[in-house]
Homo-oligomer: A and B are copies of this chain.
Amino acid sequence: MLDLFKNAKKAATKLRDLSSREKNEILQAWGQDLWARREEIIEANAKDLAYGEEIALNPGLMDRLRLNEDRIQGMIDGLKVVAGLEDPIGSVDKMVENENGLRIGKMRVPIGVIAIIYEARPNVTVDCAALTFKSGNALLLRGGKEAIHSNRKLVEILRKTLEDKNLDPNFVQFVDDPTRESSKALMEAVGYVDLLIPRGSASLIRACIDQAKVPVLQTGEGNCHIYIDETADLDMALAIVENAKTQRIGVCNAMESLLVHKKIGADFLRAFKEIQVKHGIKVHGDPGTCQILDAEEATEEDWGREYLAMECSCKFVDSVDQAIDHINKYSTGHSEVIVTNSYENSQKFLQKVDSACVYVNASSRFTDGGQFGMGAEMGISTQKIHARGPVGLEELTSYKYIIYGNGQVRK
């Protein structure tokens, strides 16, 4: 591992010398080479799928693991989008002159070496390589054992492209050892890893936060709420709730908890009941909502759960304030929605809800780097330090102050 770390550090220094044009050419070349070698990728992926069947991986994970021509094309589309984005590196937002005549500006710079620990999705390999490379950071990829053949092949192709262009292949390195030991080594790589991003289960993320000695970016868990205000358009509310709960259930931006103003509560829930039946949604409700819906009574613990299933909690509230308090108490700080036609309540909700993404009249499913115009994402940050929400190019940068003087000394 130490060799890998040293290579990454050396590569990070060289990456600072590449121009935007050179970086974008590599992103385009990666797309061409991935497409040219798509059969090799699908072949390697078949080995992972065979292993997945052997260990009876659940259908959701099997689906995330699977690669085909469409999905490879999807990765390549992502590369093109990232190539088209503005390069944050080297930009200086403004320079100010202080009273001594020093001109002081903040210049965007890469962070250095980024490591990611992830699980079964091989497309993460290419997304992360695109974002870290364009933002000038060296990358260490520690994928899960379920996807090892796919990841190994993808990284082999990405590195070959770099070699063909006479660049250091160590801009992207694969930790070919999907064990606890390699994760631990990354967590403790002080002086080598500048930022560690765990992307996967809650237990993986918790382990990184507890054990890492390098800075960690906390991603993920989403106990997302939708609050239906008394002034909501009920058709709009139903469409948003149906989309946020059922369009895709295993994702962090799905709705897990539904709050309804009691004034319109009975009307709304009678309409929602059709959606519940249609999709087979299991509901954990408070006593009021249990009278209308076919629901189990919710326990205290249920309000805090991220179900990741056709399941949610449901509660009547007396006011937007009560909804906000409930959310700030139980939420994981990911994405929350108010459906309302009240100007006052919409502004109050936006101001007071303390989560990464706060929506008025839209589905929480839009919390996503692609949807936010970032091309791809390293994950969704639920912490408040450094970056919050989808992590794209800009969130992978730091800055330094550059100061132009003409001989100033301090009095």
* Known A-B contacts A243-B410, A351-B16, A361-B406; A366 and B400 likewise in contact (beta carbons under 8 Å): no
SS class of chain A's interface: helix, strand, loop or mixed?
A: mixed
A355-386 contact mask (Cβ, 8 Å, vs B): 1 or 0 = 11111111101110001110000000001111
- Are B384 and A96 in contact, with the CB atoms below 8 A? no
Q: Is A282 an interface residue (CB 8 A)?
A: no
Q: Which residues of A contact B (CB under 8 A)?
A: 13, 16, 90, 96, 98, 100, 102, 104, 107, 109, 111-112, 194-195, 209-210, 213, 215, 233, 236, 239-240, 242-244, 247, 328, 350-352, 354-363, 365-367, 371-373, 383-386, 388-389, 398-410
> Which of B215, B351, B362, B384 contacts A385, CB < 8 Å?
B215
Question: Of all chain B residues, which has the CB nearest A211?
Answer: B213
CB distance from A408 to the nearest CB of B (A): 4
- In the bound complex, how far is the Cα of B409 from the Cα of A362, in angstroms? 6
- In the bound complex, how far is the Cα of B235 from the Cα of A409, in angstroms? 12
- In the bound complex, how far is the Cα of B398 from the Cα of A210, in angstroms? 22
Question: Of all chain B residues, which has the CB nearest A236?
Answer: B407
- Are B401 and A356 in contact, with the CB atoms below 8 A? yes
- In the bound complex, how far is the Cα of B389 from the Cα of A120, in angstroms? 38
Which residues of chain B come closer than 8 Å to A357, judged between CB atoms? 400-401, 403
- What are 22 A-B pairs at a CB distance below 8 A? A13-B328, A98-B373, A100-B366, A107-B350, A194-B384, A233-B407, A242-B409, A244-B409, A350-B402, A354-B400, A356-B401, A358-B402, A359-B405, A360-B404, A361-B404, A362-B406, A363-B408, A363-B410, A365-B409, A371-B410, A372-B401, A388-B401
